[in-house]
Structure 1
Amino acid sequence: MNISNYIDYALLKPSATEHEIIELCHNAKENNFYSVCVNSSYVAVTKQLLVETDVKVCSVIGFPFGAMATKAKVYEAKLALENGADEIDMVINIGFLKSRNYVSVLRDISDVKSAIGDTPLKVTLEISELNKNEIIRACEICLDANANFIKTSTGFSKGGATLTAVKIIKKTIKNNAKIKASGGIRDYETAIKYIDAGADRIGTSSLIKSSTHAHQIRNTKIYRKYIETIQKTTDSAKPNNTIKEKEV
C-alpha cells in the first residue's frame, strides 16, 4: 500500500532551522506526501519552497499546549492563512476540558473555525492527558464546532497516539469527521495499523516510505547480513598459509 497521501510530514521542534525546513520540503516533494506541518513562523517560506507542487502546507496553532487565549489562536490562524497555509492544526484547551467548562472549549474551537472558513481544521486532543470519557466528550464538542479532523496528539506530551484511542474516536465520530493519528508513529507497519483502525491521516516527523520501498530497505539489510555471514565463513575456512621460519 502506498501511504504517501496519508502523511502529514512534520517538523515542529522549537530548534528547527531554515535549513531543516528546506530539507523537510525536499523530502515531502520527493515522496509525494500529502502535506508538511510546520510552526506558523515558517508557513511563508514553506509555501515558497512548495510552489508548483501538490504538497499542502499545514500550520499548527496554539502549539503545543493550547492554553493561550482564544483570540490569540484566532489571530495566529488568520495570519497562517495569509502566509499560505492550506490546513490548520489547533490544540484544544485541555484545562477547560478537564474543568468541564465545555462552553469555553466549544467557543475556542468554533471561533477558530469561523475565522478560517472552509479551510480544514484539525483539533488536537492530547489523548495522553485525557481519560476515555474526556476523549469522547472532546470529540462530541469538536463535531458541534464543525471541526474537520480529530487529531490524537502533539507529540510533545507524555505519550502519543494509541490504537485504543483511535478506535474510541472512530466509534464516537463515525463518519462525521476524520481522524489524524499523530505522535510516536515512525514506520510503515505502525502507520498501516493506524489506518486500519480508522485514521485518515498520519502525522509524523519520520520519513515513512511506501510498502515497496520499505521492503526494499529490509531486503537490502538482509542481503548485507547474508554477505557478511558468507564472508566470515569463507575467511574462517581459509587455510593458514603463514610459513614459520625454521629455527636455526
Structure 2
Amino acid sequence: MTQQNLTAELFLKIADHTLLAPGTTPAELDAFLVTAADIGVVRVCVSPALLPADAQGAEIVTVVGFPSGAHHTEVKVAETVRAVADGAQEIDMVVNRGLVRAGRWADVEAEIRAVREACQGLVLKVIIESAALSDDEIVGACRAAEAAGADFVKTSTGFDPAGGASVHAVRLMAVTVGDRLGVKASGGIRTATAVRELWAAGATRFGVSGTAAILAEWDAPATLNEAGSSFDSGTY
C-alpha cells in the first residue's frame, strides 16, 4: 500500500490522543480533554471508568480487557456493552495473548467476534501486543482479527515490558491485513520521526499521549535518542 504524504494536519486526524494512566482523577481528565480540544485532535482514548465524559466534540475511544487481555470473553463483552452505553465510539480490545501463543486461532477469533457483536456499527481495534509475539503469532492474530470482523489491528497497550510499536511489527501487520484493515501503532511513540517511520511502514492510526510535543517538533530536523532509535521504550 502506498501511503500519502503525512502532514501535521493529517496526523491530527489519525492520532488517538491517549490518557490511560492508572489513577487518573476527574480533574486530570477534564484538563486532558481541554488540552485535546486546544490541540485539535479528532479522537481521545481514555479508560472506561472515566466515562461518560464531555469530549468537547472529539470522538471517544476506550479500551476493554486492558492491559493484560487475560479476561474471560464474557467480561470483555460486558465491558464493551457498558463502554458503548457510556458514549464510546471506538473500542480497542486486548486479545487473549495466551490463546495466541497457544495457536488456538478458533478461540482467538471467537473472542474477538463476541466483542465485535457487542459493538456493532462502531470501530473495533484488536490489540495484539506485538512486541511479545513471534512473527508467526503476529500474523495469526491479525488473520483472526480480520476473520472476526475487526476494523484495525493494533500493536500494543503501551504497558507491557516487552515494548511498544516497532517498524518491523507494523510492516508485518500491514502486509498481513493489506488494505482490508487499518493498523494502529501505539506504545513508545514520542517523536515526529517515529510517527513518520511507522507511517511509512504501513500504520494508518496512532495511539499517542505526547501529541502536542510531536506536533511542536514536526518540522524540526530528525533526531535519534541515545540508543540510536527514534522510539521510546516507555509506555504511552
Q: TM-score interval w.r.t. the shorter chain?
A: 0.7 to 0.9
2-structure distance, mates of 1:126, 1:176: 20
Off by >3 Å, runs of 4+ in structure 1: 208-211
SS in 1 for 2:66: coil
Report the residue type matching 1:103 in the other structure.
A
Q: TM-score, normalised by structure 1?
A: 0.82
Q: For residue 149 of structure 2, what is the aligned residue in structure 1?
A: 146
1-structure distance, mates of 2:81, 2:211: 29
Q: Is 1:40 aligned with 2:43?
A: no
Q: For residue 230 of structure 1, what is the aligned residue in structure 2?
A: none
1-structure distance, mates of 2:169, 2:210: 21
Q: 1:204 to 1:117 in 2, by over 3 A?
A: same
CA contact 2:16–2:208 (8 Å) conserved in 1: yes
SS in 1 for 2:157: coil
CA RMSD of aligned residues (A): 1.6
**Which structure's residues are more often helix, by fraction?**
1
Q: Is 1:86 aligned with 2:89?
A: yes
- Aligned identity (percent) is 33
TM-aligned CA deviation for residue 214 of structure 1: 2.3
2-structure distance, mates of 1:26, 1:195: 27
Which of residues 139, 146, 152 is equivalent to 1:136?
A: 139
2-structure distance, mates of 1:67, 1:210: 32
Report the residue type matching 1:155 in the other structure.
G
Q: Is 1:14 aligned with 2:22?
A: yes
Describe the superposition over 1:98-125 as per-residue Cα deviations: whole angstroms up to 9, x where unpaired: 1122121111100000111010000000
SS in 2 for 1:147: coil
2-structure distance, mates of 1:77, 1:64: 14
Which of residues 152, 162, 166 is equivalent to 2:166?
A: 162
**Residue segments in structure 1 that go unaligned for 5+ positions in a row:** 220-248
TM-aligned CA deviation for residue 210 of structure 1: 6.6
**Residue segments in structure 2 that go unaligned for 5+ positions in a row:** 1-6, 222-236
Matches within 5 A, 1:1-248: 1-2=7-8, 3-45=11-53, 48=54, 50-51=55-56, 53=57, 55-158=58-161, 159-208=163-212, 213-214=216-217
Q: TM-score, normalised by structure 2?
A: 0.86
Larger radius of gyration: 1
TM-aligned CA deviation for residue 207 of structure 1: 2.8
Number of residue pairs matched by the alignment: 212
Report the residue type matching 2:132 in the other structure.
E
Describe the superposition over 1:197-216 as per-residue Cα deviations: whole angstroms up to 9, x where unpaired: 111111011134575x4268
